[in-house]
Amino acid sequence: MDPVPCASPIEVLLVEDNPGDVRLTREALKEGRVCNSLSVVADGVQAMAFLRRQGVYAGAPRPDVILLDLDLPGKNGREVLQEVRADAALRTIPVVVVTATEAERELGHVYELDADCFVTKPVGVDQFLRVVDAVEDLWLAVVVLPAADPA
């Protein structure tokens, strides 16, 4: 079944370096109930360039929500989260940390950095797809997201 075209899709930025997780996330969101547009970058440096619309990302859309892995090459997810929250133009974008890390210490640290949500990636494909569906249900269908470009 082809996705239904929509006038104003929810813009999602996935910051993920694992091609398998990117593929699964793309598949789950494509099959989802909410019209969305997914952009993907593979590391923290690319994420910040995308968010600040620099270089090759000059025409990038402002995401309505960021799905952020913590364990990234170069600039890690913690550094990205810290930079997003320190930037007045970006701080209102909800950030959902989606990572394989389960450590209690990590959980506390990302909430101290003002993550909106922390989700542990499950190992199995079916469980992974269910987690993405749950994230979509909450963050794309239920939560009222901030305006695209706050004044």
pLDDT attached to residue 35: 84
pLDDT attached to residue 113: 84
Helix-then-strand count for the chain, H and E: 5, 5
Model confidence at 145: pLDDT above 60: no
Q: Report residue 29's pLDDT band, with 50, 70 and 90 as the boundaries.
A: confident
Beta bridge partners of 14: 40, 67
Which of 52, 65, 58 minimizes the C-alpha distance to 25? 65
**pTM metric for this prediction:** 0.82
Q: 48-60, pLDDT tens digit by residue?
A: 999 999 999 999 9
Query: First CA to last CA across the chain, in angstroms?
Result: 39
Six-digit token pair at 86? Answer: 């320190």
- Comparison of pLDDT for 151 and 17, the residue scoring more: 17
Q: 67-122, pLDDT tens digit by residue?
A: 999 989 989 999 999 999 999 999 999 999 988 766 666 777 787 888 888 887 76
pLDDT attached to residue 53: 98
Alpha carbon distance 97, 94 (integer Å): 10
